[in-house]
Amino acid sequence: MSIASPWFSLQPYPRWPLPYLLEAAAARYPDRTAFINFDGRSYTFEQMWSGARRIARFLQEKGLTKGDRVGILAPNCPEYVVAFYGTLLAGGVLTTFNPLYREREVQHQLEDAGAVVLFHSTLHGPLVDGVRDGAKTVRHYLNLDEIWTLADSVAGEPARVAIDPEEDLAALPYSSGTTGLPKGVMLTHFNLVSNVRQINGVGMLDRYSVLLDFLPFYHIYGLTVLMNSGLAAGASQVVVPRFDPELILQLVANRRATHLLVVPPALLVLASMPDLGRFDTSSLLWIISGAAPLPPEVGFRAQEAFHCTVLQGFGLTETSPFLNTSPGYRVKMASVGPPVSDTEEKVVDLDSGAELGPGQVGEILVRGPQIMKGYWQQPQATAATLTEDGWLRPGEGDDQVQGLPGGASGAGGPASRAPGRFGCRRHPQV
Residues 66-125 have pLDDT tens digits of 999 999 999 999 999 999 999 999 999 999 999 999 999 999 999 999 999 999 999 999
Are 144 and 125 contained in the same domain? yes
Q: What is the DSSP letter of 11?
A: P
Please state the length of the chain. 430
Residue 29 sits in the same domain as residue 135: no
The number of beta carbons lying within 10 Å of the beta carbon of residue 350 is 10
pLDDT at 396: 60
We report the CATH number of the domain holding residue 280 as 3.40.50.12780
Q: Return the pLDDT at 148.
A: 97
Instruction: Please tell me the predicted confidence (pLDDT) of residue 397.
Output: 52
d(CA 173, CA 409): 11
* Domain range enclosing 367: 1-8+16-40+189-416
The helix (run of H) or strand (run of E) holding residue 152 is: helix 147-152
- For residue 326, the cross-strand partners are none
| Residue 183 maps to a domain | no
137 with 205, same domain: the answer is no
List, in order, residues 6 or more apart from 265 with CB less than 8 Å away: none
| pLDDT value, residue 290 | 82
Cross-strand bridge partners of residue 237? 35, 211
Gap between the Cα atoms of 90 and 376, Å rounded = 21
Give a yes or no: residue 180 inside a domain.
no
Evaluate whether residue 184 is within a structural domain: no
What per-residue confidence (pLDDT) applies to 318? 96
**What's the pLDDT score for residue 401?**
33
My answer on whether 107 and 118 are in the same domain is yes
Rounded to an integer, what distance in angstroms lies between the CA atom of residue 46 and that of residue 178? 40
- Judgement on whether residues 309 and 216 belong to the same structural domain of the protein: yes
Q: 200 and 260: one domain?
A: yes
Q: Is the pTM of this model over 0.85?
A: yes
| Predicted local confidence at residue 334, as pLDDT | 86
Domain membership of residue 421 (yes or no) is no
Along the chain (430 residues), what's the average pLDDT of each consecutive run of 10 residues?
86 97 98 96 98 98 98 98 98 97 96 98 97 94 97 96 98 77 95 97 92 95 94 97 95 96 94 95 93 90 95 91 88 89 93 88 94 96 94 68 33 28 27
**Residues 184-205 as b or e (16 or more Cβ within 10 Å = b):** bbbbbbbbbbbbbbbbbbbbbb
- Count Cβ atoms below 10 Å from residue 139 Cβ, excluding itself: 14
pLDDT at site 53: 98
Query: Where residue 113 sits, what CATH number does that domain have?
Result: 3.40.50.980
Same domain, residue pair 24 and 111: no
Determine contact, residues 87/56, Cβ cutoff 8 Å.
yes
Tell me the per-residue pLDDT of 343-393, one tens digit each, with 9 for 90 and over. 999 999 988 889 998 888 899 999 999 999 999 999 999 999 999 999 999
Whether residues 157 and 235 share a domain: the answer is no
Task: Name the nearest CA neighbour of 131 among 158, 112, 103, 164.
Answer: 103
Q: What is the DSSP string of 175-240?
A: ---TTSS--BEEEEHHHHHHHHHHHHHTT---TT-EEEE-S-TTSHIIIIIIIIHHHHHT-EEEE-
